[in-house]
Amino acid sequence: MISELEVDHNESSVEIKSAMHTWRYRHHFTYKADQGKNIIVQCNLCLPRVNLLSTSKTSTSNLKKHLDRTHLGCEAKPDVKRGRKKEEYNGEESRHCQLKKLKAEIISKCMTQTKIDELIFNFIVEDCQSFYVLEQPGFRKLVAGLSEGLRSMDRVTLFTKVDQGFSRMREELMEKLSSIQYVCTTADIWTANSRSFFGMTCHWIDKHSLERKSAALGFARLQGRITHDTIAGRIHDIHVAYNIETKVQTTVTDNGSPFISVFREFAVDSKESDDDIGFYENVSTILEGEPEQDMLLFLPTVQRCASHTLELIVTEDFWQAVSQGPMCQLHYSTMAKVYAVWNKCHHLQVGMDSAEEIGKMALVVPAVIRWNVEYCAVQKIVSLSERELTELCARLEVPRMQPEEMAFLKEYVTVFHPLAFALELFQAEQKCYLGLVIPTILSLKNKLNEQKDSATYLSGVINAIVVAIDLRFQDLFASTEAKIATATTPQFRLLWMAASDREEMCAVLATEAAQMDPGTITEPNTSRSSSHTIETEDDFFSYGSVKPAIQIQQRGVMEEIRKYVEGTGKSLECLQDFPRMKQLFLKYNTTLPSTAPIQRLFSQKGNLVTSQRNFLTDDYFERIQLLRYNSNVCTLATE
């Protein structure tokens, strides 16, 4: 053991002998490796726990401190023989090999083949990586180098783990949904590389934390002609597969004609009779000659995407108003020059470099058909000074902006800033509820009208936009469900309504609250005010338990509603004190106002449908996407 502390006869041997070699406690340590001016040793008294210590070659003070602090007493005794016995040192083993063995020993204790497989599985699923990456020599070398000899799984093993992970995820998700009372789904169709996919997501609000939860239910391939029966059948089948057909409050879609026609034909209205319920037949079964009875088709009511409606207003209605107004020529000439700048920056690297050099920022180029992206790009151009914009146009060899055109762009950015802000609100997911739509649209109209008098170029366009808002959102303003959703949102309550209409709204809330199942109404949460921690004087002084003058569970429905309406809290936490209002909030605000979640499912950094992934079967392609999207609500495990 003593011989393990001996080193090669080099320049440092004298220094080591003067310190460690002659130290009388050296037999309690085993030499491991050199590390610059230090050496690494292992404490023998700490075994079986591996405890590596570092000490200077010229001093043993660190090791002595370790003995005094950890092994003080009979354990640490000096060597009376003072190192007379020495073991032979293996001179063939270099310091590099010793360090390599030490590193492998440490890694082997914390890294196993199972752990490596789990990390690779998460890497493939969460980042939408191609399965072919497992066959790449560089990836295999990377895994072997980082894990000290462990190997990467092959594609067959990965397919098996995808099957296991998907089955586990589906079971866990169905168990979660079984305890949820109200859910909302979003649906859309997406086409890429001549392949069409039907996607659906599911959303609910946790009844305890009031946080929104989301999960993906389907990402299926659509083959053949896409008809109303095909879309309706997909929606119905997914709802039935997860046992949520009676829990879905609404299904949110865009304003495209396929979905609107489907729900107009098949959606079940509670006021309609059973004769109005749609039926559909399995076409493939009929073609195969097997008779089958018509299946009852149940579709919930549809909620049109509010953000898509706003985009239609600011594109179709805006362009129509501009083309018919006196500012038509000015608008077209201005936007033509703006698009010329964008094209040069998009197609030529020198254009983007010039924009970054002159404006000291990356110029946004709208590469997708979304108005708010175009608005941000115009905003970037307007932020340039006149000198910077003139220099940029000269370098890009595009027509220079005239003063009137720059004034038009600045007014465009100012006037439509509220609309861009409203779009950002609707495209959120965690803090976006149906109750947000009516106050947002009302505020948008007010802010547009405020700018009408000061507008030089767009006053007529503002009038057309306000009229279009009233027309396209008239069904929403007439919806009782949307009004209840807004009234049960603490941030708005009844502040958005005219004073003459508030009494009627309270009566509507009372009627809805009275119809709630008593078993679903929980007691008020009083734990927030019963903390025993003393931090201030107010926490210290106590005069016994204080009971409210009127207990919430004892007072009538109408009184609870009035107490809620008169409250001032804006956070969702205050709903814990109003159990009936909380239950109404869960029912009517589960609905999302936009299809942003399903769009996020379709647009994972453009890495969904690639030439390599085209070799995946449709089933495995769907499973990978569902595993990735649901990793936040379900365990991404394969065992």
Q: Three-state secondary structure along 266-294?
A: HECCCCCCHHHCCEECCHHHHHCCCCCCC
pLDDT value at 628 more than 50:
yes
In our burial notation (b when 16+ CB lie closer than 10 A, e otherwise), range 223-256 reads: eeeeebbbbbbbbbebbeebebbebbbbbbbbee
Interval 88-122: pLDDT, tens: 444 444 566 666 667 666 655 667 888 888 888 88
pLDDT on residue 467:
93
Residue 186 phi, psi dihedral angles, 5° rounding: -120, 145
Q: How far apart are CA 302 and CA 304, in angstroms?
A: 6
Give the residue-averaged pLDDT of 510-535: 61
Is residue 169 within 8 Å of 627, Cβ to Cβ? yes
Q: Is 209 exposed, middle or buried (0-12, 13-18, 19+ CB in 10 A)?
A: exposed
Q: How far apart are CA 341 and CA 461, in angstroms?
A: 25
pLDDT on residue 518:
60
Task: Return the CA Rg of the chain.
Answer: 35
DSSP 324: T
* β-bridge partners, 221: 197
More confident residue, 81 or 32: 32
pLDDT value at 638 more than 70:
no
More confident residue, 344 or 482: 482
**Average of per-residue pLDDT values in the chain:** 77
Question: Dihedral of CA 301/306/309/313: which sign?
Answer: positive
Q: How far apart are CA 46 and CA 57, in angstroms?
A: 22
pLDDT on residue 368:
57
- Single-letter amino acid, residue 305: C
pLDDT value at 337 more than 60:
yes
Q: In what order do the strands lie in the sheet with 38-43?
A: 29-35, 38-43, 52-56
205 by DSSP, 3-state: which?
Answer: strand
Interval 545-591: pLDDT, tens: 444 433 444 457 888 888 988 888 888 888 888 888 999 999 999 99
pLDDT on residue 53:
86
pLDDT on residue 292:
45
Interval 432-474: pLDDT, tens: 889 999 999 999 999 999 988 888 898 889 999 999 999 999 9
pLDDT on residue 529:
43
Distance in angstroms between the alpha carbons of the first and the last residue of the chain: 45
102's CB contacts (< 8 A; 6+ apart) are: 32, 33, 40, 52
pLDDT on residue 110:
67
Interval 349-382: pLDDT, tens: 666 666 666 666 666 666 556 788 888 888 888 8
574's CB contacts (< 8 A; 6+ apart) are: 490, 567
Is residue 219 within 8 Å of 622, Cβ to Cβ? yes
454 by DSSP, 3-state: which?
Answer: coil
By mean pLDDT, which of 247-261, 401-415, 597-611 is the weakest?
A: 597-611
By mean pLDDT, which of 208-222, 270-284, 377-391, 504-518 is the weakest?
A: 270-284
Interval 195-209: pLDDT, tens: 888 889 999 999 888
Q: How far apart are CA 329 and CA 326, in angstroms?
A: 8
Among 493, 485, 484, residue whose Cα is nearest residue 568 = 493
Interval 12-53: pLDDT, tens: 444 445 577 778 788 888 888 888 888 888 888 888 788 888
The alpha carbon of residue 66 and the mean position of all alpha carbons in its chain are separated, in whole angstroms, by 49
Q: How far apart are CA 591 and CA 88, in angstroms?
A: 77
pLDDT value at 161 more than 70:
yes
More confident residue, 162 or 75: 162
Give the residue-averaged pLDDT of 627-639: 77
pLDDT value at 294 more than 60:
no
CA distances from 370 to 6, 30, 314, 363, 424 (A): 72, 67, 10, 17, 12
Pairing state between β 183-192 and 248-253: parallel
Pairing state between β 29-35 and 183-192: unpaired
pLDDT value at 625 more than 90:
no
Most confident of 314-318, 344-348, 536-540: 314-318
Pairing state between β 195-205 and 212-222: antiparallel
CA distances from 162 to 123, 240, 614 (A): 12, 23, 17
How much of the chain, in percent, has pLDDT values that exceed 90?
17
Q: How many CB atoms lie within 10 A of CB 538?
A: 8
Q: Tokens 């040793």 sit at which residue?
A: 41
- Single-letter amino acid, residue 416: F
Among 418, 443, 437, residue whose Cα is nearest residue 479 = 437
Helix/strand/coil percent split, the chain, to 5: 55, 10, 35
pLDDT band at 426 (very low <50, low <70, confident <90, very high): confident
More confident residue, 424 or 637: 424
| E strand map for 397-499 | none
Is residue 341 within 8 Å of 381, Cβ to Cβ? yes
pLDDT on residue 270:
42
More confident residue, 422 or 534: 422
Q: How many CB atoms lie within 10 A of CB 467?
A: 13
Q: How far apart are CA 474 and CA 488, in angstroms?
A: 21
More confident residue, 511 or 545: 511
Q: Is 622 exposed, middle or buried (0-12, 13-18, 19+ CB in 10 A)?
A: buried
Is residue 144 within 8 Å of 151, Cβ to Cβ? yes
pLDDT on residue 586:
92
Q: How far apart are CA 261 and CA 278, in angstroms?
A: 13
pLDDT on residue 524:
56
Among 266, 284, 265, 293, residue whose Cα is nearest residue 223 = 284
DSSP 88: P
pLDDT on residue 276:
39
pLDDT band at 6 (very low <50, low <70, confident <90, very high): very low
pLDDT on residue 147:
77
